[in-house]
Amino acid sequence: MVKLGLFPLNLVLFPEAIYPLHIFEDRYKKLINTSIDNGEEFGINLVTSSKMYDFGCTAKVHQVTKRYADGKIDLNVIGVRRYSLIGFSEHEMPYYTGEIEFFSDRDELLDEPGLIDVINLFNELASTIKLVNIKRLKLEDLETKYPSFFIAQKSGLSPIQKQELLEMKSENNRLSFLRRHLKNILPALNEAQQIEKVVQNDGYLSPNQFNS
């Protein structure tokens, strides 16, 4: 088992994912500065409705973007390794500390056709959503050990869904999860886009939209 500082947050950090944080509480300033000074990882666990989940991901400070006069810090962290939380303490340090065990995916051959299917569904999502610019993906551009975690970041998952994905020990199972999720939400997004077209055209679809 390994002991490390914990940063409970209402977010799920995936391995290799980069996430911005604004650090303002004194105890977490201490945690972050210790991590920077010693090059140490710390743990991020999802917290919802006062419940802290047992599975998390270690993080390292990737870049400090701003330091404030009062000690607040803006920074980017990068996810490193997944772990299960065996126990934690509130008293050893100003912040939570936990005893953890790391875990990895089981050995398996990647379901490449399944990955391609997920990429195609994701690109359909990217083309449908207009309010946010989501970059379309190509298989050859996915230079990552975990394509599922990379794709999941912009797939409209809830924190609980992300947590479920984080805990899975199979890349193929995560891809299947994403495939089901994307297939479920795309019809609703398409319907929302159609409603938006109606509103923009003062209640009437234009002739070319009847033929689309």
Q: Are residues 95 and 144 in the same domain?
A: no
Same domain, 16 and 84: yes
CATH number for the domain harbouring residue 77: 2.30.130.40
Q: What span, in angstroms and rounded, lies between the C-alpha atoms of 9 and 56?
A: 10
Total domains in the fold of the chain: 2
Q: Using one digit for the tens of pLDDT, what is the confidence trace for 87-142?
A: 988 877 888 999 999 999 999 999 999 999 999 999 998 888 776 778 889 998 88
pLDDT at position 143 is 86
Confidence (pLDDT) at 197 = 59
Q: Token digits for 74?
A: 């803006």
Domain-embedded: residue 53: yes
| Residue 150 lies inside a defined structural domain of this protein | yes
* pTM score over 0.75: yes
Query: Where among 50, 82, 102 does a domain terminate?
Result: 102
- The predicted pLDDT at position 162 comes to 96
Q: How confident is the model over 6-21, as a mean pLDDT?
A: 95
Over pLDDT 70: what percentage of the chain?
A: 90
When mean pLDDT is compared across 9-18, 56-65, 136-145, 156-165, the lowest value belongs to 136-145
Side-chain half-sphere exposure of 202, counting CA atoms within 13 A = 0
Is residue 24 within 8 Å of 72, Cβ to Cβ?
Answer: yes
